[in-house]
Structure 1
Amino acid sequence: MSYIVHGATGAQGFPVLSALRAAGRQVVAAVRDTTSVPDGFESAEVDLADVDSLAAAYTGADGVFVHLPLGAPADLGRYADVVAAAVARARPRRVVISTSGQIVDQPGTPLQAAPESPIIGLIRGVEASGISTAVVAPRLYLENLLLPVVAGPVRAEGILRYPLPGAYPVSWSSHLDVADVVARLLTDVTVVGTVAVGHRPGLAGTDLADGFSAYLGTDVRYAAITPAVFGGLITPLFGAAASAGVVGLYELLNAQAGNTIAEENSAQHLLGIAPRAVADWLAQVRA
């Protein structure tokens, strides 16, 4: 029996793969290209558009971790349908889905993912199979702060520039924090539904700067910039289309009072797992 990890060579999947292995579990990296998997890890070649390849990987598995990749909504909707069909056919013991920062636990607000969105389709499709399912719901990733256009000025100028107001609270979490929760949920089937991951209370920009100050041993101050300015900084990295989506997200966030998780479905409350302090996370990733 084993645990299937999608995107196992990527930013989200590899920490899950590593956490499960550290816990002594048999893990299988589910990827399109098995040559990309680090030595020592078992792998399975899968295609998110091919139900047969997914069902073959899922059959007999104790658990499956899945998240949707970046892509066009039409493609992602098709992937969601295929994953749900494979789960229904193969009947793994457990499925854990990451929302990858999309918000699915704040209905009735502008932040909630639309009912027709691929992530909602994936969740509903897998839950309809009757398989034990948990949804891991982070908000913003601390890894965003490691982008060269963000981390560079922190070291060179002592300024952390980001497109949110300095006092704006966010339930920040890292990929490592999410992996801790995913690993627990894959092996503990008693918790179902949505488990939110992130700091409570939310961290303001000034808190992030304090974390960098503690890690670097030097003063770092926070400076809010507009989403449009941030978009200009990241366009050379991600291209105009992807950057426009990021700008739209931060414009939406700026129109809200904050981006924080609730206590009742938090990992702190449900699992007793709290996210790392910013300085501790920076030390662990050796930023």
Structure 2
Amino acid sequence: MTVAVHGASGTQGSHIARRLRAAGHRIRPLDSRSANLTDTAALLRAYDGADAVVVQLPQLFDPIAVEQAESVLAALGKAGVPRAVFNPGMPLPPAPVGAPFVDARVLLGDRLPERVGQASVVGPAGPYLENLLQPWSVRRVRDRGELAYPLPPQAPVPWVTLDDVGDVVAAVLADARPPERLVVGGPDAVTGDRLAAAVATATGRPVRYTQVEPAEYGRLIEPVMGAAAAAGVAGIYARSTDAPPPPLPDGLFRPGATTVEEWAARPDWTA
């Protein structure tokens, strides 16, 4: 199939595009220059002739995020694209929460089946392991022997790799009767201590896991993401601490293939 992929050169989209290419699909990469997310006409041109669209929204935390979701929905409905997969990039709450970043994703996920004949929402059940490869995180591992994240060290978390999400997206596109929703996690939920042990083995040096407060995590990622996005991400983690996500219905969860030990052995932690 010819698959138009939003954000195909970005951190999330590049992994998904690579897995789709490996599955034999032709990728039509879409970015802000080729597909302005608030311009329905531009989106219609970008979707023209595509057999499927993979949607990923950018990390925006102001009201334009909801406007972008509405434009994508309008364009998909008018373009007559046969299939679409939406990766929200986060576990979705069951209803809007009053934050544009989250609410745009809830809106798009809820209304996608109204606009596309075969619509699926496929996203992570927990955080991406690639979050730990941000420059500030790798430096902290290298300089302090510390893996820091705003989650408790003993809490089992379904950490997942971007490649595993990409493989599930590819499988959904190959399915004649695709599921409407799937969340992808690792083969098993792991604690922060196990995660640190995996990185320690990969680096050959002691590494401990440290829980940081969401506000502190925001300060750590601000040099990479910018002040607005960092504050938005910190707010998401603060909100998830106050209101943990509900348990997943049976059949909604799809385990990935990559263990944290296999993942940790791949990157160069000294780079």
Q: Please state which band the TM-score falls in when normalised by the shorter chain.
A: 0.7 to 0.9
CA distance in structure 2 between the aligned counterparts of 1:49 and 1:169, rounded to whole angstroms? 39
Task: After TM superposition, list the pairs within 5 Å mapping 1:51-62 onto structure 2.
Answer: 51-62=40-51
> Which residue in the other structure is 2:110 paired with?
124
SS at match of 1:152: helix
- Alignment partner of 2:76 out of 87, 95, 98: 87
| Pairwise CA RMSD | 2.4
Q: Which residues of structure 2 form unaligned runs of 5+?
A: none
| Structure 1 position 32, deviation (Å) | 3.0
Query: CA separation in 1, counterparts of 2:39 and 2:116?
Result: 21
Q: Do the aligned partners of residues 54 and 229 (structure 1) sit closer, same or farther apart at CA in structure 2, a change above 3 Å counting?
A: closer
- Structure 1's 114 and 253: CA in aligned 2 closer, same or farther, altered over 3 A? closer
The aligned residue for residue 23 of structure 2 is 23
- Counterpart residue type for residue 165 of structure 1: P
After superposition, the C-alpha distances for 1:237-285 in whole angstroms (9 at most, x for unaligned) are 33333322222222233345689756521113xxxxx241123223344
Give the AA of the match of 2:230. Answer: S
- Give me the TM-score of the superposition, normalised by structure 1: 0.82
1:36 paired residue number: none
Structure 1 counterpart of 2:205? 218
Report Cα offsets for 1:104-146 as digits up to 9, x if no partner: 4xx3xxxx64388111221233211242111012121111111
Task: Give 2:54's aligned amino acid.
Answer: F
Q: Which residue of 1 aligns with 2:97?
A: 114
Aligned residue pairs: how many?
A: 265
Superposed CA offset, 1:138-189 (max 9, x none): 1211111112332222222322122221112221112212111112112224
Mapped to 2, the partners of 1:229 and 1:123 lie a distance apart of 30
1:245 aligns with 2:228: no
1:157 corresponds to which of 111, 123, 144: 144
Q: What's the counterpart of residue 39 of structure 1?
A: none
TM-score when normalising by structure 2: 0.87
Output the amino acid matched with 2:56: H
Question: Quick one: structure 1 residues 211 and 260, their matched pair in 2 at CA, closer, same or farther if it must change by over 3 Å?
Answer: farther
The DSSP-based 3-state class of the residue aligned with 1:4 is strand
Residue 129 (structure 2) aligns with: 142
Closer, same or farther in 2 for the Cα pair 1:257/1:3, shift >3 Å? Answer: closer
Letter of the structure 1 residue corresponding to residue 38 of structure 2: A
Q: d(CA) in 2 for partners of 1:280 and 1:113? A: 36
Indicate the SS of the match to 1:167. coil
Q: Identity of counterpart residues, as a percentage?
A: 34
* Separation of aligned partners in 1, 2:119 and 2:244: 31
1:63 and 2:52 equivalent?
A: yes
Q: Is the 8 A contact 1:4 1:30 kept in 2?
A: yes
- Relative to 1, partners in 2 of residues 1:250 and 1:32: Cα closer, same or farther, differing over 3 Å? closer
Distance 1:60 1:141 in 2: 32
Tell me which residue corresponds to 2:35: 46
